[in-house]
Amino acid sequence: MEVSLDTIVAWAKRRGFAYPGSDIYGGLANAWDLGPYGVEIKRNIENAWWKAFVQERDDIIGLDSQILMNSKVWEASGHVGGFSDPLVDCKKCKSRERADKLIEDAIFAFKSKDESKVAEIEQKYGSLTPEAWTFDQQFDFLNTYQIKCPKCGKCDWTEPKKFNLMFKTEQGIVEGEGKEIYLRPETAQGIFVNFKNILDTTRSRIPFGVAQIGKAFRNEITPGNFMFRVREFYQMEIEYFVENNEEKGLAAFEAWKAASKKRWKEEIGIAEDKMRFRDHDKDELSFYSKGTCDVEYLFPRGWGELQGIAYRTDYDLTQHMKFSGKDLQYNDPYTGKRYVPHCVEPSWGLTRAILTALIDAYTEEKYTDGNGAEQTRTVARFHKNIAPVKFAIIPLLKKDAAMVEFAENLYKKLSKTYMCEFDDSGNIGKCYRRQDEIGTPYCITIDHQTMEDGTVTIRDRDSMEQKRIKTEDITL
Ligand code: ATP
């Protein structure tokens, strides 16, 4: 079903998935707080991820490193000098845009209107990936195709210049005399700087991985599209270390692509036809990367990255060896060889995963009710793993003390294992509609028959079928 982002934003706010940040003060542009159901989705995605990769695999361990790190980390990683986007200013209205994103949007629009133009662009600039073009090429494109400013509609751009995306702050108690430090723009570097600690304190043997979930901050030039591009977001990242040879590195890279596909499809339940795995062309690769793949989802405005998988060779560890002066080589206990391991980095955007889960689940559908009348309902078809509430427990009559007590006891029992909701508003139709809208897979109703034989009615969110079952048989 085609759904607009405006519909998703309105539903997310109405149903408590996400609220505009600092709402009562008029908000803070492009900041979103996760509401009671949004935070459940987040926890479900991260817990399932942690379970699949850290708990169930014996070759990956977890870490939780700091957001604030020594500034040398970012010099070594290349973020201080290079972590930048091409910024263009509209000379007319002074708005700031990302040249590559303006170009991407223009190419996306040409694709549906004028395929020959798309072929012409590819021929002229060497690819359809503006990130891989030079600043001169980007500037030439903006002028040749008269790309207009989204704010004022004029085409009068400054030449692209580099804009560093890291947020700076000061550490220290005296204003102006503190040390300049950065909020981390990715979680991954915390893993590299702990590589030696991990080797010294665990029995990890190559190949092994280190996983981390946490916040990252980027001073994005053009945030927007709801939670797609925000300045404060969550990532789930793994650095998977392998021997220092390309064959092993490429094999791990392919294995991570396969594991990622399984994760998105089977465990988060994202529609397969809306996902694609896009390998970067040679000219798109960073100089140190031997392979990069973007996992993309078809968002309402077009394809967008959900996860990056990159074979980064020994670049990061080597850089940290140079800048820290510490030996970060691995001592192979079996062969006696010492070397700097290669690594593959699968990096998931958790905030974007939440957005994807919302978009993918949202459905409006028609159905015929018990009286033969046509009705419309909004139903969030979340994968059961992801649904914020698993069971809603509903006493049919809120004035019937025995029914309410039975329902309360059932809630107490089930909520030890599952996130449940107790709903004694007394209007069963309204309860079902509300639970459908937040994507609760099952509604359990306590009714007259429950009082006689202890069975309950269980209603399936997707089929709307109702069955009578014993309470002992309730499972997800
Ligand atoms: P993009 O091209 O969309 O800016 P990126 O290539 O810079 O993304 P990575 O550095 O590979 O992204 O980060 C890994 C993941 O972190 C991305 O796949 C994405 O899901 C998430 N991510 C990156 N930037 C943002 C952001 N500003 N808001 C929300 N999620 C983000």
CATH number where 442 lies: 3.40.50.800
Alpha-carbon span 128 to 120, nearest angstrom: 10
The answer to whether position 93 is within a domain reads no
In a domain, residue 67? The reply is: yes
Same domain, 344 and 277: yes
Condensed to tens digits (0 to 9), the pLDDT of residues 245-285 reads 999 999 999 999 999 998 999 888 998 899 999 999 887 78
Q: What is the pLDDT of residues 119-134, one digit of tens each?
A: 999 999 998 889 889 9
Atom of ligand 1 nearest to the CA of 349: 20
Residues 265 and 410 in one domain: no
Query: Residue 119 gets which letter from DSSP?
Result: H
The pTM of this model reads 0.91
Note whether 184 and 307 are same-domain residues. Answer: yes
Are residues 456 and 341 located together in one domain of the fold? no
- Choose which residue among 233, 234, 263, 301 to substitute to test ligand 1 binding: the one with the highest number of ligand atoms within 8 A of its C-beta: 233
Residues 164-183 pLDDT 10s: 899 999 888 777 777 889 99
Indicate if 307 and 183 belong to the same structural domain: yes
Packed helices 5-14 and 350-361: angle between N→C axes, nearest 10 degrees: 100
Domain assignment present for residue 274? The answer is yes
pLDDT at residue 146, rounded to an integer: 96
Q: Please tell me whether residues 409 and 345 are part of one structural domain.
A: no
The confidence score (pLDDT) of residue 222 equals 87
Position 383 in a domain: no
31-53: per-residue pLDDT in tens?
A: 999 999 999 999 999 999 999 99
Do residues 354 and 416 share a domain? no
CATH code of 36's domain = 3.30.930.10
Q: Are 28 and 230 in contact (CB under 8 A)?
A: no
Distance 145 CA to ligand 1 centre (A): 27
Q: Are residues 308 and 395 in the same domain?
A: no
Which amino acid is residue 191, in one-letter code?
I
Q: Are residues 270 and 393 in the same domain?
A: no
Based on the fold, state whether residues 298 and 394 are members of the same structural domain: no
If one counts the domains in the chain, the total is: 2
In a domain, 117, yes or no: no
- What pLDDT shows up at residue 159? 95
CB 129 within 8 A of CB 60: no
Nearest by Cα to 461 from 358, 386, 381, 393: 381
Q: Choose among 237, 250, 234, 236: nearest CA to 312.
A: 250
Domain limits for position 408 = 389-473
**Residues 221 and 301 grouped into a single domain:** yes
Please indicate, yes or no, if residue 130 is contained in any of the structural domains. no
Cα(418)–Cα(442) distance, integer angstroms: 12
The confidence score (pLDDT) of residue 83 equals 80
Ligand 1 atom 8, closest CA: 305
Predicted pLDDT at 396 = 94
Q: Is position 384 within any domain?
A: no
Residue nearest to atom 11 of ligand 1 (CA): 308
Q: Helix and strand tally (H, E) in the chain?
A: 15, 23
Q: Answer for the pair 452, 443: CB distance below 8 angstroms, yes or no.
A: no
Q: Evaluate whether residue 181 is within a structural domain.
A: yes
Give the number of the atom of ligand 1 that is nearest the alpha carbon of residue 304.
3
Residues 6+ apart with CB under 8 A from 19: 13, 32, 33, 35
pLDDT of res. 314: 97
The binding-site residues of ligand 1, defined as CB within 6 angstroms of any ligand atom, are 186, 218, 220, 229-230, 233, 235, 305-308, 347, 349, 351-352
Residue where one domain finishes, among candidates 309, 342, 358: 358
Residue 369: the pLDDT is: 82
The list of the chain residues with pLDDT below 70 reads: 1
Indicate whether 211 and 307 sit together in one domain.
yes
